[in-house]
């Protein structure tokens, strides 16, 4: 066991070299996005300055309620460091205690707490370690580092402690930041999953409701057929109705499968203008026969965006087809604009605006249009709706971490805004 820190030099004040190393250390940690490598780097620096040949860094595992070993220096075989340490183990327990309880011979404060050495806490010796450093954030011990170096006495010890305290605090900040980030990520995933389950539940209920009508007519036809088999009018009319009902059920099943199939977007770098144009090409003929003019205003300064091409095409096709439906036979225009959005923090988003001059959406319906099976196209002879189009649109936009907004003036028209972040790989 070394009793002298490798650096800083043996005088009692930190050297310029130490500050340079501290700066590099702080920059290194700041750039890290994974707790594993971050723990390794932090422990390596603490061991070097503390003059330790063996050591470990333990991180609080909130899910399992223990501290898990995230990094080690030296050979773990030579120490008695377990993979996990219980929350109420004497070492973490004492490290999170208020400072007054801890022996007063340490001069440096570690975020309001103090380091422990073997003379303070015999449980350290049982782990083969000589010094324990707390990493405390907002009053919680989020991690701790153990070093096997025996502490030098006197002024020198105070200086090493002060340096360790600075390094430990830098490490604490970095660990805290990544833990928060991981928590956020986990809750985001959880939310996505519960969202899905909730909407699938609604869908299952809606589906049962939707197929009941067509099933009833199919059943009636089968029941009546034996006695009316010689009535050609009955057979002709009812066959047509029943066939329509079967198509309707098929269409519902297709759309539900589209929605229910979990589609993690397959991101590729795409040109949003290109996707919009290709969707407009599909609806061109239909628009023409209805006397609808299409106006396209595509921004030329758009970055390529990471997205799932097939899914995003489905978004715009659904929006464009709804717009055509809303304009009936009276004609009108469909204007599609793309635009660059500069968001705070230098983030770049791309916006696609779909504006139609259709019948508009009554205020009371606006909050329901994204609900599964909400449709006003039950009676319109030309086209029956399933009410799943906008549900799917919403789902896909959400999967791309985008936003969708709608504005509508009944009798004048409707505008949908789809904002997509320029995601990076
Ligand atoms: N551009 C639009 N103009 C007017 N109403 C719209 C528009 N887009 C959607 N809607 C309304 O939202 C409802 C739900 O749309 P959607 O989920 O695509 O289902 P569907 O088209 O099968 O009815 C439509 O029935 C319609 O009432
Ligand atoms: Mg639709």
Residue-wise pLDDT tens digits, 412-422: 999 999 999 98
Pairwise CA distance, residues 91 & 85, whole Å: 9
Mutation test of ligand 1: which of 375, 379, 405, 406 has the most ligand atoms closer than 8 Å to its C-beta? Answer: 375
Pocket of ligand 1 contains residue 414 by CB under 6 Å? yes
Q: Which two tokens stand for residue 394?
A: 């919403």
Residues of the chain falling short of pLDDT 50: 1-12, 100-104, 425
What residue owns the CA closest to ligand 1's atom 27? 376
CB of 376 shorter than 6 A to ligand 1 = yes
Question: Ligand 2: distance of its center to the CA of 220 in Å?
Answer: 30
**E strand or H helix at 163, and its extent?**
helix 154-228
- pLDDT given at position 38: 95
Q: How far apart are CA 154 and CA 394, in angstroms?
A: 66
Integer angstrom CA distances of residue 405 from 170, 369, 384, 410, 414: 42, 11, 24, 16, 11
Tokens of 113: 């707490």
The full set of domains in the chain, from first to last, is 16-185 (3.30.450.40), 265-425 (3.30.565.10)
pLDDT at 322: 94
Pocket lining: 323 vs ligand 1, CB cutoff 6 Å: yes
Closest atom of ligand 1 relative to the 354 alpha carbon = 1
Q: What is the pLDDT of residue 340?
A: 94
Q: Which residue is it, tokens 């909130």?
A: 62
Q: What angle do CA 362, 292, 382 make, to 5 degrees?
A: 65
Q: Which residues of 154-172 are buried (b: 16+ CB within 10 A; e: fewer)?
A: eebbbbbbbbbbbbbbbbb
Ligand lying closest to the C-alpha of residue 379: 1
CA-385 nearest atom, ligand 1: 22
Q: Please give the pLDDT value at position 101.
A: 43
Cβ contact 67:59 at 8 Å? yes
The residue whose C-alpha atom lies closest to atom 22 belonging to ligand 1 is: 385
Ligand 1 contact via 361 beta carbon (within 6 Å): yes
Q: Which ligand is nearest to the CA of 373?
A: 1
């Amino acid at each position: 066991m070394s009793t002298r820190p490798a650096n800083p030099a043996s005088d009692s004040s930190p050297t310029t070299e130490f500050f340079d190393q501290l700066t590099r250390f702080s920059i290194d940690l700041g750039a890290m996005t994974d707790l594993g490598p971050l723990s390794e780097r932090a422990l390596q620096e603490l061991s070097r300055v503390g003059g330790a040949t063996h050591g470990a860094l333990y991180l609080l595992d909130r899910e399992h309620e223990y501290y898990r070993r995230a990094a080690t220096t030296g050979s773990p075989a030579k120490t008695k460091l377990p993979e996990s340490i219980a929350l109420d183990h004497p070492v973490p327990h004492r490290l999170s205690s208020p400072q007054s309880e801890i022996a007063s011979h340490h001069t440096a404060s570690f975020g309001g707490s103090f380091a422990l050495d073997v003379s303070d806490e015999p449980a350290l010796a049982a782990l083969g370690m000589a010094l324990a450093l707390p990493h405390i954030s907002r009053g919680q011990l989020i991690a701790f580092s153990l070093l096997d170096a025996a502490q030098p006495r006197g002024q020198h010890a105070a200086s090493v402690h002060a340096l360790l305290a600075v390094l430990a605090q830098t490490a604490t900040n970095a660990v805290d930041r990544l833990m928060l980030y991981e928590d956020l990520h986990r809750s985001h995933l959880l939310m996505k999953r519960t969202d899905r389950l909730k909407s699938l539940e609604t869908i299952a209920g809606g589906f049962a409701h939707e197929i009941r009508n067509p099933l009833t007519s199919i059943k009636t036809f089968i029941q009546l057929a034996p006695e009316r088999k010689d009535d050609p009018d009955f057979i002709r009319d009812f066959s047509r109705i029943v066939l329509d009902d079967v198509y309707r059920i098929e269409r519902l099943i297709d759309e539900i499968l589209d929605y229910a199939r979990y589609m993690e977007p397959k991101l590729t770098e795409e040109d949003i203008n290109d996707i919009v144009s290709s969707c407009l090409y599909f609806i061109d003929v239909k628009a023409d026969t209805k006397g609808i003019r299409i106006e396209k205003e595509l921004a030329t300064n758009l970055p390529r965006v990471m997205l799932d091409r097939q899914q995003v095409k489905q978004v715009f096709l659904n929006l464009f087809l709804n717009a055509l439906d809303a304009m009936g036979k009276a004609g009108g225009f469909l204007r599609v604009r793309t635009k660059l959005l500069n968001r705070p923090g230098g983030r770049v988003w791309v916006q696609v605006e779909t504006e139609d001059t259709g019948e508009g959406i009554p205020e009371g319906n606006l909050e329901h249009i994204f609900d599964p099976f909400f449709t006003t196209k039950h009676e319109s002879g030309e086209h029956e709706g399933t009410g799943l189009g906008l549900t799917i649109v919403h789902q896909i936009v959400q999967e791309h971490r985008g936003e969708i907004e709608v504005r509508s003036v009944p009798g004048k028209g409707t505008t949908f805004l789809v904002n997509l972040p320029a995601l990076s790989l």
